[in-house]
């Protein structure tokens, strides 16, 4: 008998089982790969919601930034329970449960808009994020099991390619079906009668109802389709038990790993912050630009992000991942500082370019953090690194506070400092620290 991390079985039996799974897993694989698209839509619709809620509820930047705080708090709090649920009930059950939460959260936007309650919207976003935590925890390993082991990496890379496509779709949905193109300055709002002002704000709030209703119904329908689809009996037999306190203690005492956690926290915060406030930056630094037009910069950012993933992968054939990470972090420091010093169209273009160089950061930091570790430490280390996405909540709120105090351009100092942390991590990796 041989333990290979996927099961404990004879090689011929494993080969025969893999071939059988491959024949029966095409439809299940398509259904699961689609999930990467669906959570890309949800993630980047938040960038639209920040601008929309700021207008509809007349919020300052700090309160508008709570959209991301509620969203990423859901990820942080639910990631570990989702993993425990998956271990108890299996991959398919976790996916269906995650889609149910995602769909319910989207449907909650309708009553939230009827009540015009910002807190209700934040709760709905928390429910959506909880569902996505289940999906991200279960879908990645599920994809690797739906087919032969030797092509697992190819399947996962294909699945991940659908994520930025979903992100772009989310922005386009927001741009064409949520943004009205009607912008009222504070002076114009003050000059309006109470009834006209209330009608305008109610219309802007209601703009999210139909898009999220359709998203919710599609997601719930997809969950039902997965529930009714027969999946091959794939599972990781013979897995070791969850990492114990010894592995956790070793990880937290390992400076290389704690630096990876720190770098990932700041990277996610920088990425979410730049995208969340890009529309706001364009409108503030290029006066007169409506949100609908400013959203084009966000769409361009996501296209650059997707292009950067392919380019980064090609460049890693010639440059070590540590060196490429350091180079891209240094370039992004320069771009964000430029956006601070030169607000306007040029500064906005610099922030768009940031996305190209951000593209390789998350997977590279992740890989370097778990590199060379045993199975227990790799599993627990992966879970801890996923939890660092709470940086998206913390640093986006910090950017909102800086923006309220000193302007949106100066708020870009937060991602600039974040890229400094990523650069320091990459330099320590190069030095073998």
Q: How far apart are CA 427 and CA 263, in angstroms?
A: 12
User: Would you list the DSSP string of 372-422?
Assistant: T--HHHHHHHHHHHHHGGGHHHHHHHHHHHHHHHH-HHHHTHHHHHHHHHH
156 dihedral zone (left: phi>0; alpha: psi -120 to 50; beta): alpha
State the pLDDT at residue 208: 92
Q: Which of 393, 402, 334, 332 is nearest to 360 (CA)?
A: 332
Residue percentage of the chain with pLDDT more than 90: 37
Q: How far apart are CA 348 and CA 32, in angstroms?
A: 36
pLDDT (tens digit per residue) in 171-222: 889 888 898 778 787 788 888 888 888 898 889 999 999 999 999 999 999 9
pLDDT (tens digit per residue) in 410-431: 999 999 999 999 999 999 987 7
pLDDT (tens digit per residue) in 94-151: 899 999 999 999 999 999 999 999 999 999 999 999 999 888 777 766 776 677 655 5
Backbone angles phi, psi at 343, to 5 degrees: -65, 140
State the pLDDT at residue 149: 59
Q: How confident is the model at residue 5 (pLDDT cuts 50, 70, 90)?
A: very low
How large is the average pLDDT for residues 82-96?
82
pLDDT (tens digit per residue) in 360-400: 888 788 778 877 666 567 666 776 787 888 898 899 889 99
User: Structure tokens of 356?
Assistant: 């190209």
How large is the average pLDDT for residues 329-335?
98
pTM of the model: 0.72
């Amino acid at each position: 008998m041989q333990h290979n991390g996927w099961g404990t079985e004879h090689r011929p039996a494993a080969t025969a089982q893999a071939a059988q799974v491959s024949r029966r897993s095409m439809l299940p694989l398509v259904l699961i790969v689609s999930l990467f698209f669906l959570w890309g839509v949800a993630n980047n619709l938040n960038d639209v919601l920040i601008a929309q809620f700021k207008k509809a509820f007349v919020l300052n930047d700090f309160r508008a930034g709570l959209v991301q705080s509620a969203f990423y708090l859901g990820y942080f709090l639910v990631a570990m329970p989702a993993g425990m649920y998956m271990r108890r009930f299996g991959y398919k059950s976790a996916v269906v449960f995650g889609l149910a939460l995602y769909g319910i959260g989207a449907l909650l936007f309708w009553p939230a808009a009827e009540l015009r309650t910002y807190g209700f919207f934040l709760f709905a976003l928390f429910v959506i994020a909880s569902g996505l935590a289940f999906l991200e925890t279960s879908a990645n390993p599920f994809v690797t099991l739906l087919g032969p082991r030797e092509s697992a990496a190819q399947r996962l890379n294909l699945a991940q390619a659908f994520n930025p496509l979903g992100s772009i779709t989310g922005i386009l949905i927001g741009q064409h079906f949520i943004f009205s193109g009607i912008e009222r300055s504070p002076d114009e709002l003050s000059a309006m009668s109470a009834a006209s002002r209330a009608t305008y704000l109610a219309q802007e709030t209601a703009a999210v109802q139909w898009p999220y209703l359709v998203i919710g119904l599609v997601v719930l329908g997809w969950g039902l389709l997965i529930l009714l689809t027969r999946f091959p009996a794939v599972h990781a037999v013979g897995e070791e038990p969850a990492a114990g306190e010894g592995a956790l203690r070793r990880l937290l005492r390992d400076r290389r790993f704690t630096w990876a956690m720190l770098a990932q926290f700041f990277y996610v915060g920088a990425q979410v912050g730049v995208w969340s406030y890009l529309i706001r930056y364009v409108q503030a630094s290029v006066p007169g630009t409506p949100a609908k037009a400013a959203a084009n910069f966000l769409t361009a950012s996501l296209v650059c992000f997707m292009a950067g993933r392919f380019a980064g992968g090609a460049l890693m054939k010639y440059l070590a991942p540590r060196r490429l990470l350091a180079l891209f972090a240094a370039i992004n420091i320069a771009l964000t500082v430029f956006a601070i010093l030169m607000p306007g169209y040029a500064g906005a273009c610099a922030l768009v370019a940031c996305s190209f160089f951000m593209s390789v950061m998350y997977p590279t930091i992740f890989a370097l953090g778990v590199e060379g570790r045993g199975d227990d430490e790799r599993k627990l280390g992966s879970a801890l690194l996923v939890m660092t996405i709470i940086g998206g909540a913390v640093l986006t709120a910090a950017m909102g506070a800086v923006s309220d105090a000193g302007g949106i351009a100066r708020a870009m100092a937060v991602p600039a400092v974040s890229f400094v942390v990523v650069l320091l991590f990459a330099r320590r990796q190069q030095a073998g620290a």
